[in-house]
Amino acid sequence: MRIDGHVRFDGKYYSLSEDYINKPVTVIGTMSQVAIYHAGKLVETHERATDRARSKSTKRHHLKPWEQVCNNPDGLHSLGAKIGPSVEAIIRRVILDGEGFINYRRIWGILSLDKKYSHHEINSACDEALESEIYSSKFIEEFIIHAQEERRESNPSPTRPAGKFQRDITEYTQILLNLNKPLGDTYEH
């Protein structure tokens, strides 16, 4: 079995549980069905893929969790809702704009912003994106960065009070300037 969770038979691919990855399997096919055995025991059957346009037969329970979400728009909506209502609204718009085709790259780009930014920042930026009717992750990230810069400008970081071991820079300057001067009378033992 292949690493991607499929076996190849007669130029077509058939899914199997991840439990059998890198394990030897035997595939037997009839005109209408493909049976997959491991250690002499039947572990999976598929309807034989005979259509030229269809090269793969994957059962839903063999999909990885993120693949199952991708095949279910409601799952994408719920992932967006976890971040915020505006994120969910954008995902709904992206799905509707696709006219039957889902632009997963755009949706996952938006959902993956939570690796770098807070849910509040993403949701606020999605509010702006909804008003502008631009639904790209780059555009939303630019909103976030712009908002962060505005916050920094309006709230400059306070100067740190001098610590116990901190000296003023003028003291260090004087020390450096005096390094090349002779010390005068020195005491030797």
pLDDT, one tens digit per residue, over 45-66 is 999 988 877 788 888 777 776 5
Choose between 69 and 90: higher pLDDT: 90
Same domain, 79 and 146: yes
Number of domains within the chain: 2
Same domain, 52 and 10: yes
pLDDT computed for residue 119 by the predictor: 93
- Looking at every residue in the chain, the average pLDDT score rounds to 82
- Sign of the CA dihedral 169, 174, 177, 179? negative
Same domain, 95 and 122: yes
Q: How confident is the model at residue 75 (pLDDT cuts 50, 70, 90)?
A: confident
Interatomic CA distance for residues 150 and 155, integer angstroms: 8
The C-alpha angle with vertex 60 and arms to 16 and 136, in degrees rounded to 5, equals 120
Residue 28, domain member (yes or no): yes
Same domain, 108 and 88: yes
Query: The tokens of 159 are what?
Result: 């100067």
Interatomic CA distance for residues 173 and 165, integer angstroms: 17
Range of the domain at 126: 67-154
Same domain, 10 and 50: yes
pLDDT computed for residue 71 by the predictor: 59
pLDDT tens, position by position, 150-162: 888 887 666 666 6
Same domain, 78 and 149: yes
pLDDT at 35 over 90: yes
Residue 185, domain member (yes or no): no
pLDDT tens, position by position, 115-160: 999 999 999 999 999 998 888 899 999 999 999 998 888 876 666 6
Residue 119, domain member (yes or no): yes
Query: The tokens of 121 are what?
Result: 């920042």
Lowest-confidence range among 104-108, 147-151, 169-173? 169-173
40 φψ region: left (φ > 0), alpha (ψ -120 to 50), beta (else): left
pLDDT at 175 over 90: no
Beta-carbon contacts of residue 35 (< 8 Å; ≥ 6 apart) = 27, 28, 29, 42, 44, 45
Same domain, 37 and 75: no
Same domain, 115 and 148: yes
Residue 187, domain member (yes or no): no
pLDDT computed for residue 127 by the predictor: 92
